[in-house]
Amino acid sequence: MTDVRIRVLGQFALLITMTAVAPGCCYHAVKPLPAGLSYRSELLPATEVRFLCDQTCLDDSGVRVIDQQIFDEVFAMIAQAERLVVVDMFLFNEFLGAGPAPHRRLCEELTAALVARKRAVPGLHAVLITDPVNTVYGGMESSHLKRLQEAGVEVVVTRLDRLRDSNTTWSSMWRLFFKPWGNRSGGGWVANPFDGGEVTLRSWLALLNFKANHRKVVVADAGGELRALVTSANPHDGSSAHSNVGLVFSGPAVRPALETEQAVLAFSGGRTIASNDVPMTVAGPNPSSAGSLRVQIVTEEAIADAAEAMIGAAGESDALDLVMFYLADRPIIDALTAAARRGVTMRVVLDPNKDAFGREKSGMPNRQVARELVAAGVPLRWAVTRGEQMHAKMLLVKRADGTADLLLGSANFTRRNVRDYNLETDVRVAGRVSAPALADAAAHVERIWTNSGGRVFTADYGVFRDDSLWRVFRYRFQEATGICTW
């Protein structure tokens, strides 16, 4: 009789728990986004548009070669700022894991650059927006964030609870049973999931929500004008050898980039950017003038909309290049296979998903998606990595009429990144393919596809081919449920 009572009580407790969890599970997966997210601007005139890239590869003798541009540009922007600098970066820490040397101390470099500029120009409104991953969700103190605050830089940690749940089952239990207890730095007894040291168990439990402000944006004034940089690169020591891309530009297209950052400040408790902090942006060129480019800011699901529109508009006489760290989103994959059936000339370069800061990864989701694309007739190559990652995210469509569209930024093409879960920022650039920024992007893809200049950037599909149907099932399940890190 006692056993029966225990079973009944257990079933009743389970029913009560499910009843408590289910409404939150549904609501937080679809709840309204904070104002200003999932945003798309108009295609606006832009000036001084430049394509940037960081590239790690092997020379013809197998020696690792690293060429970088992106953070040198970031530091130059900070050094010129007189009234405003806003930096929104996902990974901003010194965590290395067990990745191979050498490493650039990007976190220290960015901290020092912001502190130095704030001291040189005390009236500068300097803002750093970042993600709580850098304190392991409150489980340890960040000395870099503390130094910035002490120097007068406004540090805003994104309120991830305002975002939707992608891993709905876990997040609902987290919110009910664990979140009310909070977290604290110091006194932890479990290993830091990212590097040495110890954190609290609550840090690990918070991590499993798999939420992020994944943006990588800098907006600053220079000579009375606003400039912006949007990139896939993080100021993170363990990521400092990754291959990445970026775009820097001036003109009217910068203002929407600043507005999207103000939206994050608004729901995360940051200070409103005052109008007298923002210099007047000079007028851009006539959009119809030769060589002019237009730039559109897209965030969150608007990135998927832009990608699908670009792919869907590509015709038989057009060419499409995709270079991507993670590719898993089903509508975008369907758009790519449909483009292949239409006869669009295509080239896809993917990271093999084998390296993660000294840990070996499973190859998901890219190897499973690659199998599908190759079966549809899409030419595909793998980035050659030696501990680092091919972390770029860019889509380039070149048309027979000599025009092109380029989409790049922080967003991987996955459900979490482009379906209104993470915070993401991309830029879409439209104009003549002969314009320097678009020509440089096209040359970048050509270089890594053909392994030109005696460098080894990519390898044949067969090197990391994976025909496991079990892993195909796992990828589909994890992408659909959000029970994954991508």
Indicate the residue type of 246: G
Residue found under tokens 């009560």: 16
- E-assigned strand segments in 326-466: 345-350, 355-356, 359-360, 380-383, 393-398, 403-409, 425-432, 455-456, 458-460
Alpha carbon distances (Å) from 230 to 12, 118, 140, 220, 325: 52, 22, 29, 12, 16
Residue with tokens 């390898």: 459
CATH topology of domain 296-481: Endonuclease; Chain A (3.30.870)
- Residue given tokens 């130059």 in the structure block: 76
Q: Report the distance separating Cα 40 and Cα 420, nearest Å.
A: 13
User: pTM of the full predicted structure?
Assistant: 0.94
Q: What is the pLDDT of residue 459?
A: 98
CA quadruple 34, 35, 36, 42: dihedral sign = positive
Angle, CA 108 vertex, CA 361 and CA 226 arms, to 5°: 100
Examine domains 44-276 and 296-481 and report if their fold is the same. yes
Tell me the β-bridge partners of 190.
199
Amino acid at 93: N
Q: Does domain 44-276 have CATH number 3.30.870.10?
A: yes
Task: Note the pLDDT of residue 100.
Answer: 72
Q: Which residues contact 282 (CB under 8 A, 6 or more apart)?
A: 47, 224, 225, 250, 251
pLDDT tens, the chain, 486 aa long? 466 555 555 545 544 554 555 666 789 999 999 999 999 999 999 999 999 999 999 998 889 999 999 999 999 999 999 999 999 999 999 999 877 778 899 999 999 999 999 999 999 999 999 999 999 999 999 999 999 999 999 999 999 999 999 999 899 999 988 999 888 887 788 999 998 889 999 999 999 999 999 999 999 999 999 999 999 999 999 999 999 999 999 999 999 999 999 999 999 999 998 877 887 655 555 554 546 899 999 999 999 999 999 999 999 999 999 999 999 999 999 999 999 999 999 999 999 999 888 788 899 999 999 999 999 999 999 999 999 999 999 999 999 999 999 999 999 999 999 999 999 999 999 999 999 999 999 999 999 999 999 999 999 999 999 999 999 999 999 999 999 999
List the chain domain ranges: 44-276, 296-481
Rounded CA gap, 44 and 429, in Å?
9
pLDDT at 14: 45
Pairing label, strands 359-360, 403-409: unpaired
